A and B are shown apart, each in its own frame.
Chain A
Amino acid sequence: MSTQSRTTTRPGEPGPGVGPSGEALGPDRAKVRSGPRSSLRQRTELTILLGPALVLFVGFVLVPIAVAVYYSIYKWNGFGPLKDVVGFGNYRRALTDTVFLHSIIHNVIIAGLSLLIQLPLSIGIALLLNRKIRGRTFLRLVVFAPYVLSSAVTAVMWSLMLQPGGFIDHLSKAVGIGAHTWLADIHIVLYTIFVVASWQYMGFGIVLLLAGLQGIPSELREAAALDGATAWQTTRMVILPLLGPTIRIWIFLSMIGSLQLFDLPWIMTGGGPANASSTMSTYLIDKGFHSYEFGYGSAVAVILFVICFVFALLYQRFALRRDTQGALTRMVR
C-alpha cells in the first residue's frame, strides 16, 4: 500500500529528477543518468546488483513451484521418464482422501485454538507485563527463549517429558488430572502438540504485543483516566483498538505458522497414531517423499501452496489493508 502510493511515478521514466519515493534526486544524478553511455553503465550495474539474487530466487523459489505444477499431472515415482499423464487425477485423489482432508482439519483446529486460546492469553499477559515491575528485561528474555530453540529440539525435549509414566505424568497425577498417553491417544494427541507449540511460540507473540503496547503514548491513557474511564474501559476502548495493527500481524503470523506446522508432529508422533496428528505438511512428506509418489506429492504441494497464497492475499486484502504501517502491509501488497 504505502509502496503503491510511493510509486505513482512510472518506473523507467528517465525523468525530471523525482525519485519514485518522492524525494528529489539531485540534478547531478539526473544528468548522470541521461545519455547512452551512462545508460549502458546503469544496465551493467543493475545486472551485477540484481543478477545473483534473481538467479537464486527464480531457481530455488519460483521454478520448483512451477515445475511442481507440471509434475502434478503425472503419476510418477520419481524415477524414469514422465509419461503417465493423469491430468487432474492427483488433485481429485487428494481432495477425496480422508487422511488428507483430516490433515487439513487438524491444521484448522490448531489455527482455531491459537486464535481462541493463545491470542487472548497473550494479550492478557502482555497487558499485565506492560507494568513497571521489577525484572522486566529478564522476564522478556525468558519469555522469548523458547522461540529461538529449534522446533526439532523442542519436539525431542517434550517427547522425553511426555513419555508414559514420565515427568508430565508425574505432574498431572500430582494436580489430579491423572496419567494419560499424551502422544498415543488419538483424542488427546493433537491438543498435546498444540500445548507444545504454544510453549514454543507464545513468547514471541507476547514480546511482539509488548512492543506494540509500548508504542501507545501514555497520554492517551492519562486522558482517558481524566475523563473518568475505568481501567477496564481504558483497556477496551483505547488500548486494544490501538493495538489492532499488532494483533492483526500476530494473527497473520500465527495462521501461516499453523498452516505449515510440521516439525513438532513429525518428530513427536510422525502424524500418528492412526493419522490423528497429521498435518498437511506431514501428509505431504509422508506421501510424496516416503512413498515415492512424487507426482501425487507435487499435486498436494500445489494445493498447500494455493491455500497459503489465497489466505495471505485475502488476509492482506481484508485485514491488513487498514494498517498503514508495518512491513507486512508492504510485503503482501
Chain B
Amino acid sequence: MAVLTATTQPKRGRHGGGHEAGPQSALGNALAYAVAVVIVVVTIVPLLYVFLGGFRTTAQINENPSGLPSPWVWANYKAVVTSSSFWHFLLNSAVIAIIATVLTVGLGAMAAFALSRYVFRGREALFALFTIGLLFPLTVAALPLYLQLRRLGMLENLWGVAIPEAAFSLSITIVILRPFMRAIPGELEDAAVVDGTSRLGFFWRVLLPLSAPALTTVGVLAFVTSWNFYILPLLVFNEQIHFTLPLGVATFQSQYSVDTARVFAFTALSMLPTLCFFVVAQRRIVGGLTGAVKG
C-alpha cells in the first residue's frame, strides 16, 4: 500500500489540488480529522483494553470492567509466559505457517513458471483447473477435507494442516505469479540459453530473483493466512499439544473462563507476535494483501 502510494501519487505541485479545493476544504479537513480520530479510537481501544486487562486481577475486572489496573499485576502475564502450552501453540503456529509458506511459494513458483513460459497442449486447461480453488474458500471444504485427511492418516499431524493450506493457497499464488513471470522479457531467456543455461537453470538463476517482489507478496499472503487459520486446526487436532495459537486462545478462553484476567493476558500475548510482525513488515503486508486482490 505504502509502496503503491509512492508510485501512484503524482508529485506535482497541486495548488490545494483536485476536489479538495474550494471553500469546503477547511470544513472537509476538519471532518477528515474527526473521522480519523474516531477510527483510531474504535480500533485501538479494544486492543488496549485486552492488554490492560491482563495487568488486572479477576476481582478488579469483575468490580469495574472499564477501570484501569490498580495496582498493576504482573502475575497473569507471568503465568502465561511460564506455561509450556503458550510456547507450544506459538511453535506449532510458526512451524505450520513456515511449511505452508515454503510449499506454496516453492510449488506455486514452479507451476507458474511452467504455465507462463512453456508452450504445451492443455496449458490453459491446467491453468483454469488451478483457478477453481479461488471460487470457494477452505472453510466450505473443511468437512470433506477432514474426511480426506482421516483417510490418509494425517490427523493429529502438523503436515495435515500445513499441506491443505498450501494446496488452497496455490490458486491465488499461481494467478498472481503467472502474469508477473510472463512479463519478464524473452530476451533474457534467450541470453541465458545462448550462455548454455538450461531452462531450469534460467528459472532458478534469473527468473526467481527477478520475481522477488511477487514472491514476497504471495509469501506474505500464505503466511498470514496460515498463521490465522482456525477451522482446519480445529478439526484436525484433538490433542492440545498440537494446537495452534488461534485454536489455543479459543480453547483457553473456555477452559479458564473463571480466571478472566488470565484469559486477558493469554489473548493479549497471542496478539503480540502478529502485531509486532505487522508493524515491522507493514509495507509488505498491506501491499501484499491489498495488491493480491488488485492484481
Interface residues of A (CB under 8 A from B): 3, 7, 11-15, 19-21, 23-26, 28-29, 32-33, 42, 45-46, 48-50, 52-54, 56-57, 59-65, 67-68, 71, 78, 125, 128-129, 131-133, 135, 137, 139-153, 155-161, 163, 165-167, 169-171, 199, 203-204, 207-208, 210-212, 214-215, 217-218, 221-222, 224-225, 230-231, 234-235, 239, 246, 249, 253, 256, 259-260, 262-263, 266-267, 281, 284-285, 288-289, 294, 297-298, 300-301, 304-305, 308-309, 312-313, 325-333
Contact = CB atoms under 8 A, between A and B. Distances in A.
A289 B146 contact: yes
B19 A239 contact: yes
Chain B interface residue number, banded: 35 or more
A235 B19 contact: yes
Which interface residue of A64, A128, A139, A225 has the most chain B CB atoms within 10 A?
Answer: A64
Contacts of A50: 110-111, 114-115, 126
A82 to B, nearest CB: 11
Contact of B49 (A56, A146, A161, A224): A161
B215 interface: no
B70 interface: no
A133 B176 CA distance: 33
11 contacts: A12-B120, A56-B170, A60-B168, A128-B35, A141-B279, A153-B245, A153-B249, A204-B289, A221-B18, A263-B230, A285-B142
A57 B133 contact: yes
A234 B253 CA distance: 50
A325 B293 CA distance: 11
Interface in B262-295: 263-264, 267, 270-271, 274-275, 277-279, 282, 285-286, 289-290, 292-295
Contacts of A152: 228, 230, 246-247, 249-250
Contact of B120 (A11, A24, A211, A284): A11
Contact of A32 (B28, B133, B193, B294): B193
B8 A301 contact: no
- Determine chain A's interface SS by DSSP, over half rule: helix
Contacts of A146: 43
Contact of B294 (A199, A221, A327): A327
Contacts of B228: 148-152
B40 interface: yes
B22 A231 contact: yes
B150 to A, nearest CB: 8
Nearest to B235: A289
